[in-house]
Amino acid sequence: MSGNANGLSQWFRNNNPLYLLSVVLMLGGLYLVGSELETGKVSSLAVSGFFLVQNIYEIIMVAMALYLLKKKIQPQHGKLLLFFVLLFLGDLTFYQVRISGLSTAAGGIATGVYMLMAAVKLAAVIKVLGLTVHHTRLFFAAGAFSLIWVAPKVGYYLVDSIGRESFGYFDGSYVFYSLWLIAALIHLPLIIENWRNNNLKTEVANEYLGNETTFWRWLLIFPFVVLPLQMSATVMSDSYRFIAPTLSIGTIIAPWLLAAAFFAQTLWRHLLGSRDNINIHDSTVMLVYLIIIKASAPDFSAPVLINHALLVAGLVATWLTRCNHVNAGVLALTGLWHAGQQLMTGAKVAVDYGSSLSRTAWAGILMSGSFVLLLTGFFFSLSRNGSDDNPDGEKPADNSTESQTASVTTSA
């Protein structure tokens, strides 16, 4: 019995579930407050109070984590606290979204304060723990978390604007496409940096964290997973109930799908191993992307053209930098397909135009063509040189030697 008690005590000391229970209670409280916001019975002052409590709670968690790591007291607990901070940064309770639903101004102020505080917390972690600064990683983390906080506000602002006489009617799906396109583009710097030599698996020793690359990977993976969930659950789900989109879902999210596939490859490149496996991944990704944009976008609107530009860029990049001949072939076939489409379109226009002409008009066209061919043939005849008078191509005989011989004989 004492052995079980000692084992339970050791497990408790190693994992410290009190932190988890604390986080669950805080998240539950925020969720309940957010639900109360929807009833409209909570004032802006009360909202600000709960928002302030959440920020204080996060600051305390970061301070406790840094203390445990810096003093090397249960470092695993310090790492656990830092991970729990990510849960609040990801706004998993949709607390900020609901604040924006109550008041656009209050939501904007809350997001501004939260972004500033998040930057301060991250800067404190990097400074105190002496982490190496990676600008591309910071750029993606900052961009992803900013979209998590800002994109829902844009969606709600768009919904609120529909029907206002001063705004008039506009298609909200283009705004949604812009948000997903931005979500795709923030992946590019990190993808490009690790395109040839991936450094996201390189172990970097840190006195307090052990391997600081693990910290950076979690800072990338968490918003990478949460961002599309937030965009789908808040921006798309709520807004599409009020706005009839003209763009298909496939067209709207296609840029993010392409970027996310290569970003996932960047994070887990070690699982692919050889270059052949990487090329298989690249070819599969580009083929799926090609199918999505072709199946969901029959028109030639700006989003469709951008998606096709991304297709060409991806095929060219994988062909030239990784010698992916499959993607080179797909690029050539795609070019031929589009060229054939243009030819068919032009031929159809010509046939339709010809069908609309009268017989008299066609007679004039044929007779005009006859004159053109006649004159062309005449000028071709004039361009022939004299040597062509000999059809067999034989050179004329050279009689100069015989003439000279005859001259000598006569003189003799």
Same domain, yes or no, for 143 and 75? no
- Is the separation of the CB atoms in 269 and 198 below 8 Å? yes
Residue 405 lies in a domain: no
Same domain, yes or no, for 85 and 148? no
Same domain, yes or no, for 183 and 108? no
Last residue of a domain, one of 335, 352, 369: 352
Query: Phi and psi at residue 317, in whole multiples of 5°?
Result: -60, -45
Query: What is the count of structural domains for the chain?
Result: 3
Same domain, yes or no, for 231 and 153? yes
pLDDT of residue 409: 46
Same domain, yes or no, for 142 and 209? yes
Residue 343 lies in a domain: yes
Residues 213-226 have pLDDT tens digits of 999 999 999 999 99
Residue 358 lies in a domain: no
Q: Residue ranges of the alpha helices (H) in 38-134? A: 44-70, 75-89, 95-102, 104-129
Residue 39 lies in a domain: yes
Sign of the Cα pseudo-torsion (245, 261, 183, 89, in order):
positive
Residue 391 lies in a domain: no
Same domain, yes or no, for 337 and 237? no
Q: Is 206 helix (H, G, I), strand (E, B) or coil?
A: strand
Q: E strands along 250-330, which residues? A: none
63-77, 148-162, 242-256: range with lowest mean pLDDT: 148-162
Residue 100 lies in a domain: yes
Cα–Cα dist 341/171, whole Å:
29
Residue 156 lies in a domain: yes
The answer to whether the pTM exceeds 0.95 is no
Residues 303-345 have pLDDT tens digits of 999 999 999 999 999 999 999 999 999 999 888 866 766 666 6
Residues 393-407 have pLDDT tens digits of 455 555 544 455 444
Sign of the Cα pseudo-torsion (27, 33, 39, 45, in order):
negative
Residue 397 lies in a domain: no
Cα–Cα dist 186/241, whole Å:
28
Q: How many helices (H) and strands (E) does the chain have?
A: 17, 2
pLDDT band at 91 (very low <50, low <70, confident <90, very high): confident
Same domain, yes or no, for 157 and 184? yes
pLDDT of residue 406: 46
Mean pLDDT of the chain: 82
pLDDT of residue 164: 46
Q: Is 210 helix (H, G, I), strand (E, B) or coil?
A: strand
Note down the domain range covering 346.
272-352
Same domain, yes or no, for 2 and 64? yes
Report whether pLDDT(292) > 80.
yes
